[in-house]
């Protein structure tokens, strides 16, 4: 039998390694930014064109590389970070495997310009598909500039699997956020297609978070700080009232390296237990410092997963620290019904030092002297005091002469106290008049979740939330396409605050939102002003609707216009539909059923779930056999 195992050529091996390291343009951004951090840069500029498919360029003012280092940096397993296997368990840097630049150079056109501080002349290196095209001396500033052009040019199959520019840009921004948040002392700038996206000066952690996610974020943050023998925790968590239905602002950093950990996330979520509704996720920016010997970060190609020696201890400390911070800043509710609020210290006196009270004594006071005569004092009930009731008037004396006064005020139209009508205390807050004397009710509600209607052949059980989603979906889709939506103007416009990236997403779908009934007065920077909303939505749900809409677009944004309209209608219908647990009277139940069966496709929801089911009499009869 002939030998069938053979060594792969270097260029094939590099492309296979690139498949593990470089999955999309955001992977290139991550590796290059981390290399710039390891080079001790104080200022880093990221330039991106066409969501990184055409160009990803990172410029830093770090230590730079010599001529030999510049050439060796593109060889496989060439690194300055480790020299022995033991160094893998004592890492304080980002990139350490020595595969990043070699993998990137195998699938793109790479141009490197670098110079160290001691040299007058730098190096200009050009590589295409792992082949060195040129290496020349050049006059360049101190630091390193790496430009990655035409990513996956020699692997068209991988390039075809890339998503739309909007989705790829979101992944690049996510990686940019992770590196920028972990290193607030470094100035960052991001330029996309010639326009500035972020310009972050060197600052502290709190200011860096505010610069990235908007000025309104500052009032949402609760500081977290704890230090033990095995773990040091600092950072911020968001107040419970600012929780979102999406998992957007959730960041864990271990030794300044971004990680993903569902185990640690559960520890933070459990600390919020009882403070947030179901389905709402907390936001956090937590930095954990541990001994490098107690973790293993070499278990995943992207190095975003970490294995801890003692996960249970870290879980308990993290949960207790977050819970303590929430309670310390009066986030947790106080259930002390016997506490007298009159003894609480006012907020403005909390930081004032106590002062001894001054006592004034009237030394001329003599209790046996005659009381001085008081001046003319007008009492509001002087008539009652001088009446014939006596010196100690009762409550009846307050109304002496009231009947005579009423009769003499208007002789032409005397008013009797019995003719005075009082305001009714009856409250009518139902959308439909609920006649409780009605005996012909044909529908009823089950567990405030299902609407049950009898049929000739059995019972029809309708899921009220999914049914309302179908009704709203078809109406919204019609309004978007036909452009005949009705808007209700607001007396006071809504002033909303979002991050810059979220405002840009809303600006892209502004036309479709206006067709559904929204009227935008301002859409710029971090501010959104809405002067009109669709008639089918209440004002208090606008913020949640837009947040969920932005999240859905970030997750999967279709390219075609019709698909985008379809996704928009589905997202809005899911946010606006009647929720489980809402009580409906008989009129509302029948109205929901009539609207459902007036739809073109009443059997399934916009998410392709069944809206109703029919239970035949035969199935019911079998239960009693």
Average pLDDT, integer, range 438-459: 80
**Beta strand 284-289 with 143-149: parallel, antiparallel or unpaired?**
unpaired
Structure tokens given for 518: 């929204």
**Beta strand 450-454 with 458-463: parallel, antiparallel or unpaired?**
antiparallel
Where do we find the tokens 């001994």?
A: 291
Cα–Cα distance for residue pair 406/412, rounded to 1 Å: 12
Pick the closest to residue 490 from 522, 520, 526, 524 (CA basis): 520
State residue 113's pLDDT score: 93
Structure tokens given for 132: 């060195």
Indicate if the pLDDT at residue 509 is higher than 90.
no
The backbone torsions φ and ψ at residue 332, rounded to the nearest 5 degrees and listed phi first, read -75, 140
| Residue 235: its H or E element | strand 232-238
Indicate if the pLDDT at residue 314 is higher than 80.
yes
Cα–Cα distance for residue pair 62/39, rounded to 1 Å: 5
Q: At a CB cut-off of 8 Å and minimum separation 6, what does 402 contact? A: none
Q: Which pTM was predicted? A: 0.66
Average pLDDT, integer, range 460-471: 92
Cα–Cα distance for residue pair 344/608, rounded to 1 Å: 55
Q: How confident is the model at residue 332 (pLDDT cuts 50, 70, 90)?
A: low
Measure Cα distances from 403 to 383, 487, 598 in Å.
Answer: 14, 55, 64
Residue 585's region, left for phi above 0, alpha for psi from -120 to 50, else beta, is beta
The backbone torsions φ and ψ at residue 238, rounded to the nearest 5 degrees and listed phi first, read -90, 145
Domains and CATH numbers, the chain: 10-200 (3.30.565.10), 212-328 (3.30.230.10), 444-613 (3.30.1370.100)
Q: Are 538 and 579 in contact (CB under 8 A)?
A: no
CA 38 from centre of chain: 31
Indicate if the pLDDT at residue 431 is higher than 50.
no
Helix (H, G, I), strand (E, B) or coil at 547: helix
Pick the closest to residue 513 from 479, 488, 544 (CA basis): 479
State residue 502's pLDDT score: 83
**Beta strand 284-289 with 250-254: parallel, antiparallel or unpaired?**
parallel
**Beta strand 187-192 with 43-49: parallel, antiparallel or unpaired?**
parallel
Cα–Cα distance for residue pair 454/214, rounded to 1 Å: 54
* pLDDT above 90: percentage of residues in the chain: 20
């Amino acid at each position: 039998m002939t030998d069938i195992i053979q060594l792969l050529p270097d260029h094939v091996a590099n492309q296979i390694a690139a498949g593990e390291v470089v999955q999309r343009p955001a992977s290139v951004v991550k590796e290059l930014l981390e290399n710039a951090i390891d080079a001790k840069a104080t200022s880093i500029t990221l330039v991106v064109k066409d969501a990184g498919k055409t160009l990803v360029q990172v410029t830093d003012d770090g230590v730079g590389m010599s001529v030999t280092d510049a050439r060796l940096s593109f060889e496989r397993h060439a690194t300055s970070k480790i020299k022995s296997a033991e160094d893998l368990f004592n890492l304080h840097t980002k990139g350490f495997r020595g595969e990043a630049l070699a993998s990137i150079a195998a699938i793109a056109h790479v141009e490197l310009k670098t110079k160290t501080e001691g040299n007058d002349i730098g190096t200009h290196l050009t590589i295409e598909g792992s082949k060195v095209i040129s290496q020349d001396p050049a006059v360049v500033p101190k630091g390193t500039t790496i430009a990655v052009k035409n990513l996956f040019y020699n692997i068209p199959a991988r390039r075809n699997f890339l998503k739309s520019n909007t989705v790829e840009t979101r992944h690049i921004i996510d990686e940019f956020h992770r590196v920028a948040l972990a290193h607030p002392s470094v100035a960052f700038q991001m330029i996309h297609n010639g326009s500035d996206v972020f310009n972050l000066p060197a600052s502290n952690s709190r200011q860096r978070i505010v610069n990235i996610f908007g000025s309104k974020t500052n009032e949402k943050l609760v500081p977290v700080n704890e230090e033990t023998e095995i773990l040091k925790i600092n950072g911020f968590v968001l107040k419970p009232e600012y929780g979102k239905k999406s998992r957007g602002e959730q960041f864990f950093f271990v030794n300044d390296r971004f990680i993903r950990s569902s185990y640690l996330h559960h520890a933070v979520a459990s600390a919020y237990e009882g403070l947030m509704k179901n389905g709402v996720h907390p936001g956090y920016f937590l930095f954990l410092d541990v001994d490098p010997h107690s973790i293993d970060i070499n278990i995943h190609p992207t190095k975003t997963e970490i294995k801890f020696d003692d996960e249970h201890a870290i879980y308990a400390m993290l949960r207790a620290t977050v819970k303590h911070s929430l309670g310390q800043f009066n986030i947790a509710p106080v259930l002390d019904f016997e506490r007298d609020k009159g003894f609480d210290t006012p907020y403005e006196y909390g930081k004032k030092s106590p002062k001894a009270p001054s006592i004034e004594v009237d030394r001329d006071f003599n209790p046996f002297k005659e009381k001085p005569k008081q001046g003319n004092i007008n009492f509001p009930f002087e008539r009652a005091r001088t009446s014939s009731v006596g010196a100690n008037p009762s409550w009846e004396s307050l109304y002496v002469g009231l009947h005579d006064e009423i009769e003499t005020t208007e002789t032409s139209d005397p008013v009797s106290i019995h003719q005075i009508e009082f305001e009714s205390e009856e409250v009518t807050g139902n959308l439909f008049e609920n006649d409780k004397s009605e005996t012909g009710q044909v529908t009823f509600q089950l567990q405030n979740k299902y609407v049950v209607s009898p049929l000739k052949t059995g019972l029809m059980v309708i899921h009220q939330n999914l049914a309302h989603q179908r009704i709203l979906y078809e109406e919204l889709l019609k309004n978007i396409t036909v452009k005949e939506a009705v808007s209700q103007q607001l007396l006071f416009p809504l002033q909303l605050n979002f991050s810059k990236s979220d405002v840009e997403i809303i600006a892209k779908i502004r036309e479709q939102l206006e067709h559904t009934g929204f009227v935008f007065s301002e859409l710029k920077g971090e501010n959104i002003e809405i002067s009109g909303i669709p008639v089918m939505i209440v004002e208090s749900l606008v913020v949640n609707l837009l947040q969920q809409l932005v999240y859905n677009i970030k997750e999967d944004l279709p390219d075609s216009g019709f698909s985008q309209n379809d996704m928009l209608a589905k997202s809005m219908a899911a946010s606006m539909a009647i929720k489980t647990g809402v009580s409906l009277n008989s009129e509302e139940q029948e109205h929901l059923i009539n609207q459902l069966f007036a739809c073109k496709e009443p059997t399934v929801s916009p998410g392709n779930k069944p809206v109703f089911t029919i239970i035949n009499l035969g199935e019911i009869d079998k239960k009693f056999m």
